Amino acid sequence: MRTPGWLAVAPMVTAVLMPTIDPGGEQAAIRRAVAAAVPEPRTPPVGDDPVPPAPAEQRDGVPEPWSSLADCESGDWLDGGAAFVEGSARWEWAKPGGEVPPWGTTIHHGGLQFLPATWEWVAGDLGILEDYPHAYDAPPSVQVEVAEEIQDRQGWGAWPVCSTKVGLR
């Protein structure tokens, strides 16, 4: 007996018609949703890489680039913000009873203009929050220590305007 033609192709048709195991359906949608919700480990963009270690130049005991960044963040600006005055950083910015320039605010603290929540987060992780509850309570060397940790975690974008002005990104 001869096999009818339709039966000879039936296994092939069955294979095509049988559902495959979710090639782009529900499981794939779940994988895409999880991938979108879980951030990739941060790899800084090329222009946001940390400054390569080099013999650090220091001004008033503060290494570069932090002294220039602080001058820009909390110091005096010239020419409507085109430049800043070297050595003008205000490390006690926003300290109660201290002087804040008329153009300044007390939202950010210290010479590198930390948001209080960021200071609490990083100084707490470094175990120094009890000694220095606010950035303005800390000496410049401690503010730089916290800033270095913030830079490791967030890149130079944590200081978006001044890191660009001083050539860090």
Q: How confident is the model at residue 9 (pLDDT cuts 50, 70, 90)?
A: very low
- Look at residue 41 and tell me whether its pLDDT is greater than 60: no
Q: How confident is the model at residue 53 (pLDDT cuts 50, 70, 90)?
A: very low
Of the listed ranges 26-30, 37-41, 61-65, 157-161, the one predicted with least confidence:
37-41
Residues contacting 93, CB < 8 A, separation 6+: 74, 100, 104, 108, 109, 110, 111, 113, 135, 136
Buried b (16+ CB within 10 A) or exposed e, 38-55: eeeeeeeeeebeeeeeee
CA Rg, the chain, in Å?
28
- CATH number of 51-165: 3.20.20.70, 1.10.530.10, 3.20.20.140, 3.40.50.2030? 1.10.530.10
- Look at residue 52 and tell me whether its pLDDT is greater than 50: no
pLDDT of residue 82: 81
Angstrom distance (rounded) from CA 118 to CA 135: 10
- Look at residue 147 and tell me whether its pLDDT is greater than 80: yes
* Averaged confidence pLDDT in the chain: 79
Q: Mean pLDDT throughout 9-14? A: 42
Q: How confident is the model at residue 152 (pLDDT cuts 50, 70, 90)?
A: very high
Residues contacting 137, CB < 8 A, separation 6+: 95
In this prediction the pTM is 0.65
Higher pLDDT, 100 or 141: 141
* Secondary structure letter of residue 56 according to DSSP: P
The DSSP line for 95-108 is: -TTS---TT--SSS
Q: Mean pLDDT throughout 37-57? A: 51
Structure confidence by residue, pLDDT tens digits, 55-68? 456 666 899 999 99
Q: Kindly list the domain boundaries of the chain, sorted by start residue.
A: 51-165
Q: How confident is the model at residue 34 (pLDDT cuts 50, 70, 90)?
A: low
Structure confidence by residue, pLDDT tens digits, 87-137? 999 999 999 988 888 778 899 999 999 999 999 999 999 999 999 999 999
